[in-house]
A = this chain, B = another copy of it.
């Protein structure tokens, strides 16, 4: 349910052509609500009778991840999932019921990261933070 433009912009910014398979993949991603697996996109493409190879979907996904327009999540179960998002550094709150995500700002975390670096002596390069819980919509929907 997000917009295709940022995805296409990511391709262009990095000097990659916006081919029709890539456009199709971007559309499939934008049409998705919440996180998705690569297999979901393959299924979507099949459903829409799109002539896109499996490899091409993986390649487009990989490119978008490199460019920061899509991020790989690790669910508490250990499964991988993808979600489209802003290129700037941030983190995700993931609904464990419907899979929708919200982006959260990094600001409040920075002090903590610095403190860890100071205490452990590590030269920290990156970090990953994911929060899981039920989103407001799912909470008010009761069982859903």
In the complex formed, the residue of B with least CB distance to A107 is B112
Please give, as numbers and ranges, the residues of chain B lying within 8 Å of A130 by CB-CB distance.
127-128
A102 within 8 A of B: yes
A104 within 8 A of B: yes
Please give, as numbers and ranges, the residues of chain B lying within 8 Å of A96 by CB-CB distance.
125
Select the residue from A104, A116, A126 with max chain B CB neighbours within 10 A.
A116
Assess whether B108 is in contact with A115, with CB atoms less than 8 Å apart.
Answer: yes
Assess whether B104 is in contact with A133, with CB atoms less than 8 Å apart.
Answer: no
So how many copies of this chain end up in the complex?
A: 2
User: When the two chains form the complex, which single residue of B76, B109, B122, B133 contacts A136, counting CB atoms closer than 8 Å?
Assistant: B122
Assess whether B128 is in contact with A134, with CB atoms less than 8 Å apart.
Answer: no
Assess whether A124 is in contact with B131, with CB atoms less than 8 Å apart.
Answer: yes
> By the criterion of a CB under 8 Å from any partner CB, how many residues of chain A are at the interface?
37
Cα A91 to Cα B127 in complex, Å, equals: 11
Please give, as numbers and ranges, the residues of chain B lying within 8 Å of A134 by CB-CB distance.
122-123, 125
Chain A 124-144 interface 0/1 with B at a Cβ cutoff of 8 Å (1 = within): 111111111111100100000
A32 within 8 A of B: no
User: Which 4 residue pairs are nearest across A and B when measured between Cβ atoms?
Assistant: A124-B133, A121-B136, A122-B133, A74-B74
In the complex formed, the residue of B with least CB distance to A137 is B121
